[in-house]
Every structure is written in structure tokens, then in C-alpha cells.
């Protein structure tokens, strides 16, 4: 297969051609780990694209989550690479570019749940990619460029525009998507003037338009990380530090942020319990993505957006926070998130199937981090857009460890990869294949056409398609709870 920079050789199985580890930018170790991506130089001969490319430096998931979430890591310098699945290199098919999640510090395009084979068999050319993570991708200091990780994603999308036709993809029909931090990245790309025209649709799974840091907050994170390393807060000092030392410092500071957050100093980062997010830098990202949506600056792109019913159980159950929560902790969190009368607000979050404080607390955190931002993004778009915003909820509860319909559970269903390595850790051994076929078919339809057979979400018609073993359509679900967040989130 010929690209603009050289020829690559992939593999074929079951009618799907797969190309792995294609570089879309030069190795940052050669061009500067804390510098924007540089276009990859041309090569001679045929480059093998049969094995996974190197993944971005990162620490493994904590043991409580490593057993639930696959996260393969592959060593090497050429970490800015992508993977392509195509059924027909001679065709002109819709393209799906998926951005992985992992709180901006974990993950890669090689996660087995993101295998693009099923999409390719359905006529969708599928791309997954690696981008710089943690400090290397999202450190923001007063000097030098910010949002290196977002710049990497934009470089990958530029590569797609220039090269995907050679793989059977239509560059005029590119849909971006992502889950968790990947969805937050997609929202940032929707708002970014530098990404305009690189895609024509977006799927946001469990991530929306609230998760970007003002420059002042991002500066505080950078200074705190420099203090943790004992270095001056400059790009040069970070670049001179050992990668392993930076990763260890990020891990320590993240733990502090999650267990004893300094809200006065870290503000949005503390509220979201994430050390890194895209930064409103005035260049790549000029405003909060939800603000850009309200101003109509994402008007030319249809969006499919949604969340899982019990998102935060992935974090509260394995960590023990679910079982340890009491009423005092629930009220403390509600007060910290702006509820003036926690005792009155608490019943709104009561779970009919589980009246424990842990269940209520998990609903509060799910709303704050995922559900309400998705609703606000849909509301913002509806007021200023002609192209539709469709909303879904994934409601099937996992039988594993009281996880319910937790964060990341829907991935193996959307990609139809229930048989992939480690999928059953979240789904259990007997996950409903009909649900996977339904969700995957919905994603394929949206990628192919930009439309879906249920009503778009508007403030007047709050239609949500609910995916479970029996699929239903709901109008304004949990309306009282949603209204309680007005003015707070």
C-alpha cells in the first residue's frame, strides 16, 4: 500500500486488510518530546505494518483496574503511529477514526476491544491511533506550545485526509470518535479551529465538553509536577528529566489529587480528579468545548453522544469506595459540588435497587463527570445547530462484581469485540450478543450516514435511546435529577 511518505505492507485475514503501526509523525525522541509533532520523513523500500507500533510512555493501571481493562504496551521510539482496518483498498468508504481513553495518562490504539475488524466487515474503514499522554502530551507551562497530545491527534487526522483514500477510505466522510478521555478529546477537536474540516461527524462515548482546563489551572498542575520532581517548571527541565521519573511523579500527584485534593489550587482538575486535560491555550483550543458548541462553532458536524447508566461504578467498586461510603461522605461530596442542602438533594440520587450511600454517591459522581456534561453539550448544540445531536444511554448491567453498567463496558459492544482478550473481565462470559449487534449496527449507521432513526435531542424533546437487552426510547429520563444540577454543572 502506497502512502505519501512510503509503501507499507500489512496483512489480510477473513477479507479484512490490516495495517498496524504506520507512523503519522516523526518520533518525539528525535524531534523533541515536549514539542509539537513533525511530519514523518519519507522512507525507501517497503515498511512492515504487520505488528503493533510503539505505545506512548505510561504507567500500568492500578491492580484493581488492570484486571478489568486491557492495556497492552509496546516499547519503541516511534510512538506517533496509527492502525488501519479496511475491507477493500480499492473502494471509497466511510472512515471511523477512534481516539482511545485512559484519563489522558493510559491507553493506546492497540487495546483489543478497539479491533476494527467488525467495522471493516460492515463497510467502514477504521483507524485507531496513539498520541502522547500525561506530561508529554498535556503539560502546560507559560512558555512554549500547549496541547501536544491534541496536536498529535490533529496530525493523525491530517494524515487520514492525505492518505486514507489509498486504503479504500473517503476523506470527505470521516467520523471521529472516542471514549472517556478520547471523547473529551473529540469534543476539543470539535471546538478547535485547527481541526476544522478534518472530519464530518463525531461519536462521544462517556465524555463531553466540560473537561478542559483554563491556562491558569494547567499552569498550577505544571508547577506542582515540577515541585514533585524537584526541577524548575520549564520545558527544558522536564525534557532533561528521566521519563520514568516523570511518570512516577505524575502517579504520585494524581493519587494526591484523588485522595486529598487541593481544590483552591487545582480547581477544575481537582473537581474532575484528573491531573491532565486539554488546555484552553488560545491556539488549539480557544474556549471550553461546550461554550464553542453553544456559539455554533460545531454546527457543521452531526454528533452521537451518550453515557453508561452506572459509569462511576468502575471507579468506586474496585477501589472499595462504594462499600466504604456512608451518609456523611455522600453529603460532603454533594456540598463540595455545590448543593447547598445535601440532605434534601441526597434522595434524588437514591438507587431503587440499592439504597446504600455508596450507590447514591456513585450516581452523584456519574452525573458530575459524565451524564450532565453530555446533556449540557447536547443542549448547547441544539440551540445553535441545524445538524442533529443524538443521545444514547447504555443500560445493560454487567454481572461482574456489582459493576452495573459501568464506564468502558459498552466498548466491546460498540466494536463487536466481545470475544477479544479481556473483554469478559467486564462483560462476563455470557454477554448478550444481540445487544452487541444492535449497538455496533447503530454506530455503523451513524458513521455511514450521519443520521439515526430516533429523534435528535433538544431541550424541548429530550429523546434518549436506551440500549439494553430490550431497546427502548426514553424522553427526559431522570428529569428531576437533571434539573437539580442546573447552575451547578
pLDDT of residue 280: 98
Cα radius of gyration rounded to whole Å, the chain: 21
Of 154, 179, 218, 197, the closest CA to residue 374 belongs to: 179
> What beta strand segments (E) does 369-448 contain?
389-394
Least confidently predicted of 159-163, 298-302, 357-361, 384-388: 384-388
* Residue the block writes with cell 462504594: 322
- pLDDT at 144 > cutoff 90: no
Give the integer Cα–Cα distance in Å for 11 and 29: 28
pLDDT per residue as tens digits for the range 360-416: 999 999 999 999 999 999 999 997 777 999 999 999 999 999 999 999 999 999 999
Q: Which residue out of 108, 180, 206, 402 is catalytically annotated?
A: 180
Give percent of the chain with pLDDT exceeding 90: 98
Query: Average model confidence (pLDDT) for the chain?
Result: 97
pLDDT for 185-228, tens place per residue? Answer: 999 999 999 999 999 999 999 999 999 999 999 999 999 999 99
The pLDDT value given to residue 341: 98
Q: Phi/psi class of residue 279: alpha, beta or left (left: φ > 0; alpha: ψ in -120 to 50)? A: beta
What one-character DSSP code corresponds to residue 52? P
Cα distance between residue 61 and residue 84, in whole Å: 26
17 is catalytic: no
What count of other Cβ atoms lies within 10 Å of the Cβ of residue 156? 26
CA distance 433 to 430: 8
Q: Are 322 and 402 in contact (CB under 8 A)?
A: yes
Catalytic, out of 407, 410, 423, 440: 407
C-alpha span between 158 and 199 (Å, rounded): 10
pLDDT tens digits for 416-451? 999 999 999 999 999 999 999 999 999 999 999 999
Under the banding of pLDDT at 50, 70 and 90, the label for residue 18 is very high
**Residue 276 DSSP SS3:** coil
Binned at pLDDT 50, 70 and 90, residue 143 comes out as confident
With cut-offs at 50, 70 and 90, classify the pLDDT of residue 464: very high
pLDDT above 80 (res 112): yes
Q: State the pLDDT at residue 357.
A: 98
As separate numbers, helices (DSSP H) first and strands (DSSP E) second, the chain gives: 21, 16
* pLDDT of 386: 76
Picking from 17, 28, 86, the residue whose alpha carbon sits closest to that of residue 55 is 28
With pLDDT > 70 as the criterion, what percentage of the chain qualifies?
Answer: 100
Question: What span, in angstroms and rounded, lies between the C-alpha atoms of 28 and 393?
Answer: 38
The pLDDT tens digits of the residues spanning 53-100 come to: 999 999 999 999 999 999 999 999 999 999 999 999 999 999 999 999
Whether 292 and 191 have beta carbons less than 8 Å apart is answered as yes
Q: Which entry of 311, 393, 410, 465 is annotated as an active-site residue?
A: 311
Res. 172 pLDDT band, cuts 50 70 90:
very high
Residue 303 CA to residue 387 CA, distance in Å, equals: 8
Indicate whether 155 pLDDT > 80. yes
Q: How high is the pLDDT of residue 247?
A: 98
* Annotation marks residue 401 as catalytic: no
Cell 528529566, residue located: 241
d(CA 140, CA 148): 9
CA distance 250 to 60: 12
CB atoms inside a 10 Å sphere around CB 239:
15
- Orientation of helix 148-163 relative to helix 181-191, angle to 10°: 70
| Distance spanning both ends of the chain, measured CA to CA | 48
* 65 part of the active site: no
- Residue 478 is predicted with a pLDDT of 97
What is the pTM (predicted TM-score) of this model? 0.98
If you average pLDDT over residues 112-140, what whole number do you get? Answer: 98
Q: Which of 112, 103, 98, 216 is nearest to 157 (CA)?
A: 98
- Please, which pLDDT band fits residue 117 given cuts at 50, 70 and 90? very high
**Cα distances (Å, whole numbers) of residue 154 to 100, 115, 161, 176, 483:** 14, 21, 11, 11, 36
Q: Determine the Cα–Cα distance for residues 172 and 408; give it in Å rounded to an integer.
A: 29
pLDDT recorded at residue 383: 78
The span from the CA of 288 to the CA of 189, in Å, is: 11
What domains can you pick out in the chain, each with its CATH number?
Answer: 2-214+277-301 (3.40.50.1820), 215-272 (no CATH), 306-484 (3.40.50.1820)
CA distances from 173 to 347, 388, 471 (A): 46, 16, 28
257 burial via Cβ count (<10 Å: 0-12, 13-18, 19+)? buried
Give pLDDT, residue 384. 72
Amino acid at each position: 500500500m502506497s502512502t505519501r511518505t512510503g509503501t507499507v505492507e500489512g496483512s489480510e485475514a477473513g477479507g479484512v486488510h490490516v495495517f498496524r503501526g504506520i507512523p503519522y509523525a516523526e518520533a518525539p525522541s528525535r524531534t523533541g518530546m515536549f514539542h509539537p509533532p513533525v511530519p514523518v520523513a519519507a522512507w525507501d523500500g517497503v515498511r512492515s505494518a504487520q505488528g503493533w507500533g510503539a505505545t506512548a510512555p505510561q504507567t500500568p493501571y492500578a491492580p484493581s483496574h488492570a484486571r478489568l481493562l486491557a492495556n497492552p504496551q509496546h516499547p519503541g521510539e516511534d510512538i506517533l503511529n496509527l492502525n488501519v482496518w479496511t475491507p477493500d483498498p480499492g473502494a471509497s468508504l466511510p472512515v471511523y477514526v477512534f481516539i482511545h481513553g485512559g484519563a489522558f495518562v493510559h491507553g493506546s490504539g492497540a487495546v483489543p476491544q478497539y479491533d476494527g475488524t467488525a467495522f471493516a466487515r460492515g463497510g467502514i474503514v477504521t483507524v485507531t491511533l496513539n498520541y502522547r499522554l500525561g506530561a508529554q502530551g498535556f503539560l502546560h507551562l507559560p512558555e512554549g506550545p500547549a496541547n501536544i497530545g491534541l496536536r498529535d491527534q490533529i496530525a493523525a487526522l491530517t494524515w487520514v485526509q492525505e492518505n486514507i483514500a489509498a486504503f479504500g477510505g473517503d476523506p470527505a466522510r470521516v467520523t471521529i470518535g472516542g471514549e472517556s478521555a478520547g471523547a473529551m478529546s473529540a469534543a476539543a477537536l470539535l471546538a478547535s479551529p485547527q481541526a476544522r474540516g478534518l472530519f464530518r461527524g463525531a461519536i462521544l462515548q462517556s465524555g463531553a465538553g466540560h473537561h478542559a482546563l483554563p491556562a491558569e489551572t494547567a499552569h498550577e498542575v505544571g508547577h506542582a509536577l515540577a515541585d514533585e520532581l524537584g526541577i524548575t517548571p520549564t520545558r527544558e527541565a522536564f525534557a532533561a528529566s528521566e521519563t520514568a521519573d516523570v511518570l512516577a511523579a505524575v502517579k504520585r500527584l494524581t493519587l494526591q489529587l484523588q485522595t486529598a485534593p487541593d481544590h483552591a489550587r487545582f480547581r477544575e482538575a481537582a473537581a474532575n480528579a484528573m491531573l491532565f486535560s486539554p488546555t484552553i491555550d488560545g491556539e488549539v483550543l480557544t474556549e471550553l468545548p461546550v461554550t464553542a458548541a453553544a456559539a455554533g462553532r460545531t454546527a457543521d458536524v452531526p454528533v452521537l453522544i451518550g453515557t453508561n447508566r452506572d459509569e462511576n461504578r468502575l471507579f468506586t467498586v474496585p477501589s472499595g469506595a462504594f462499600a466504604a461510603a456512608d451518609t456523611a461522605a455522600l453529603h460532603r461530596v454533594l456540598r463540595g459540588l455545590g448543593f447547598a442542602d445535601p440532605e434534601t438533594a441526597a434522595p434524588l440520587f437514591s438507587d431503587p435497587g440499592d439504597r446504600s450511600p455508596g450507590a447514591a454517591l456513585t450516581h452523584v459522581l456519574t452525573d458530575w463527570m459524565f451524564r450532565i456534561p453530555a446533556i449540557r453539550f447536547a443542549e448547547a448544540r441544539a440551540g445553535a445547530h441545524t445538524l442533529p445531536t443524538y443521545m444514547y444511554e447504555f443500560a445493560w448491567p454487567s454481572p461482574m462484581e456489582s459493576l452495573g453498567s459501568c464506564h468502558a463496558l459498552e466498548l466491546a459492544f460498540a466494536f463487536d469485540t466481545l470475544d477479544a482478550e479481556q473483554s469478559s473481565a467486564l462483560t462476563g462470559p455470557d454477554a448478550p450478543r444481540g445487544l452487541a449487534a444492535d449497538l455496533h449496527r447503530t454506530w455503523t449507521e451513524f458513521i455511514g450516514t450521519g443520521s439515526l432513526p430516533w429523534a435528535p435531542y433538544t431541550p424541548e424533546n429530550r429523546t434518549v435511546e436506551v440500549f439494553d437487552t430490550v431497546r427502548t426510547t426514553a424522553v427526559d429520563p431522570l428529569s428531576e435529577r437533571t434539573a437539580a444540577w442546573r447552575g451547578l454543572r
